[in-house]
């Protein structure tokens, strides 16, 4: 008895046989796999730009930090094993994998959060391992924030427009959809000329991540956790209040840079620390920085984000790369 995707495909075949009209590209549901590796390996099957079944996560939260310090070949082999397990023997037409860092031409050129992957030809490595396991399809690599942007575009029906997203977590990611060749390391935009601002994980001075990154805030305030900084600011602690204003101004500055280079539009904000955003304050600072009238059509929206959105985005980007319109 046909169920789920099998029944849908059967109905498509019947439609073609009875009408003589081939289904459009949009109506043909390609099955892809999306993978995100921001803090752990999460794998899911994507069809019709939706998640099919449940996500696979490796390792569990308690041992993820140890795993992400593993050698590159161990990480690659684990990703391959999880993809094979998620596929369950079904035909997969494209695979997209997100990694933190600078990703170009299937190579991880730099990854401050996964330094052992620098220079790794991960696309070739994964493709070869998957062929050995019986999965022979295009594999594409993306920055992990870019797949979040693609996932937001897909789940909101915005695949026809420019989408940008800031991810506020241990590091600061900047994602862009549609995918375009480039570096796009927005978290390392310079937002301060003070040589003392040296808290970014990459070692650069004055970077956005040096203000907003979870690790960076811990280094600035050795006597409290980031959540406590915002709690104390609400209670009137002047040191914390001054920093929270600076935190918002830094994000406004980086967003203004993006607007002046790439135009206005919608900016989504996701990640653990998005909960601390004061949108009126952020808009106030951005209004001070963007004055040319054609550039003032911008808007922010805080969204949950999460692994499911990233996995869908990786699958969608992989499909669009393998089967361009």
Domain ranges of the chain: 25-149+307-322, 161-302
Q: Could you give the count of Cα atoms lying within 13 Å of 194 in the half-sphere of its Cβ?
A: 11
Q: Are strands 107-110 and 163-168 parallel, antiparallel or unpaired?
A: unpaired
132 Cβ contact list (under 8 Å, min separation 6): none
Let me know if 93 is exposed, middle or buried by CB neighbors in 10 A (0-12, 13-18, 19+): middle
Q: Which CATH homologous superfamily contains domain 161-302? A: ATPase, nucleotide binding domain (3.30.420.40)
Q: Please give the pLDDT value at position 25.
A: 43
Radius of gyration of the chain (CA): 21
pLDDT, mean of each 10-residue run, the chain (325 residues)? 43 43 51 91 95 90 66 93 96 96 94 88 97 97 95 94 93 91 90 95 94 95 96 98 98 98 94 96 98 96 92 97 89
pTM above 0.95, yes or no: no
- The Cα–Cα gap between 211 and 271 comes to 15
Q: Quick one: tokens of 158?
A: 């915005």
- Sheet of 299-302, strands arranged across: 172-177, 163-168, 266-270, 299-302
Q: Quick one: tokens of 98?
A: 């997100």
Q: Are strands 299-302 and 266-270 parallel, antiparallel or unpaired?
A: parallel
Let me know if the fold of 25-149+307-322 is the same as that of 161-302: yes
Among 217, 147, 198, 215, which Cα is nearest to 177's? 147
- The Cα–Cα gap between 256 and 208 comes to 12
- Sheet of 41-47, strands arranged across: 50-58, 41-47, 31-36, 94-99, 139-143
Helices (H), 143-237: 144-155, 209-212, 214-220, 226-234
Residue pair 107/122 in contact (Cβ under 8 Å)? The answer is yes
Please give the angle made by the CA atoms of 246, 250 and 253, to the nearest 5 degrees. Answer: 135
Within its chain, how far is the Cα of 324 from the centroid? 21
Domain 25-149+307-322: which CATH class?
Answer: alpha beta
């Amino acid at each position: 008895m046909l169920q789920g995707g099998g029944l849908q495909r059967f109905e498509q075949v019947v439609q073609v046989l009875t009408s003589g009209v081939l289904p459009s590209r949009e109506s043909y549901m390609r099955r892809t796999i999306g993978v995100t590796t921001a803090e752990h390996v999460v794998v899911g099957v994507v069809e019709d730009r939706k998640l099919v079944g449940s996500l696979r996560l490796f390792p569990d939260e308690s041992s993820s930090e140890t795993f992400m310090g593993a050698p590159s070949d161990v990480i690659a082999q684990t990703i391959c094993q999880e993809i094979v397990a998620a596929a369950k023997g079904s035909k997969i037409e494209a695979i997209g994998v997100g990694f933190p860092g600078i990703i170009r031409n299937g190579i991880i050129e730099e990854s401050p959060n996964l330094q052992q992957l620098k220079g790794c030809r991960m696309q070739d490595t994964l493709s070869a391992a998957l062929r050995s396991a019986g999965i022979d399809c295009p594999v594409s690599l993306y920055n992990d924030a870019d797949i979040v942007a693609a996932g937001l575009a897909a789940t909101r029906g915005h695949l026809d427009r420019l989408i940008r997203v800031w991810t506020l977590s241990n590091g600061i990611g900047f994602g862009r959809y549609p995918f375009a060749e480039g570096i796009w390391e927005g978290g390392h935009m310079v937002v301060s000329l003070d040589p003392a601002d040296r808290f970014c994980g990459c070692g650069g001075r004055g970077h956005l991540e040096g203000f907003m990154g979870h690790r960076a805030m811990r280094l600035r305030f050795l006597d409290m956790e980031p959540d406590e900084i915002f709690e104390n600011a609400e209670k009137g602690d002047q040191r914390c209040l001054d920093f929270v204003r600076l935190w918002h101004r830094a994000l406004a500055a980086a967003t203004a840079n993006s607007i002046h280079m790439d135009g206005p539009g919608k900016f989504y904000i996701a990640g653990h620390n998005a909960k601390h955003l004061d949108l009126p304050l952020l808009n106030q600072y951005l209004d001070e920085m963007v004055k040319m009238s054609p550039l003032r059509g911008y808007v922010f929206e805080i969204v949950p984000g999460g692994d499911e959105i990233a996995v869908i985005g990786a699958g969608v980007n992989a499909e669009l790369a393998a089967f361009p319109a």
